Structure 1
Amino acid sequence: MLHDLEYVSLRVQYVDGTKIESVAGRYTFVWKKSIQKNKLKLAANIASVLSAIDAQITEDQSSLGNQEMSKAIDSAGLKERIKGINAKLKASSKSTDKQLKKLEEDYLPRLEKYEQ
């Protein structure tokens, strides 16, 4: 078509060395079932960390009671839970700080990515 419109001559060949960055590699494709499986594992990890944090809170401050764990955890609920834990902690221990940091920096971004 370009030759018929006389935009390109077929007497000379040109090679373009343009490189375009792409994120469509084979390792960026994700299957729905693997997302669901990994989200279930992540929810179990989140529930165990939250229950460990609640146990630490009750041990540190006897006036605080355990809150009921929700079965379906989403990123907005996890953010609210983290804020609630931060508000409850006045003098927290190192293990609780580590677990809370892991929730905020590891589990929450992964959960948001799975939801997306």
Structure 2
Amino acid sequence: IFGAGQVQAAKEITEDLENIRSAWIWAANQQMIEDIGIAVDTLAMYFQIKGKYLEAFNLLEEVRDKTDFETREEMEVLAAITAECGWIEIRFGRFQKAEEFFEQSQHIYEGLG
């Protein structure tokens, strides 16, 4: 979704979006944070390309709410998700909220050393 095959990748994701959405929520419920971490950038970029900011934000927030982030690797995933929430808030024109998400993300990264 990040390179020359972006259009084709977005098409394939669109065709399977309901399954992807279900898998994302299931992964959050099962605490499969490593898998979420692998998918977060691609999923966020897809929703950005499609202009589906609210859906992206809701899915990211659901993971933030349902998942226990404990290990260093899990905290890195939380920081990435939090930063993505900030980018989406910019799309909504909510710059103060975006800044809060970016500060949270930065704080998490700083805590990791």
- TM-score normalized by structure 2? 0.31
Q: Which has the larger radius of gyration?
A: 1
- TM-score normalized by structure 1? 0.30
Bigger helix fraction? 2
Ranked by relative contact order (alpha carbons within 8 Å, sequence separation 6 or more), the top structure is: 1
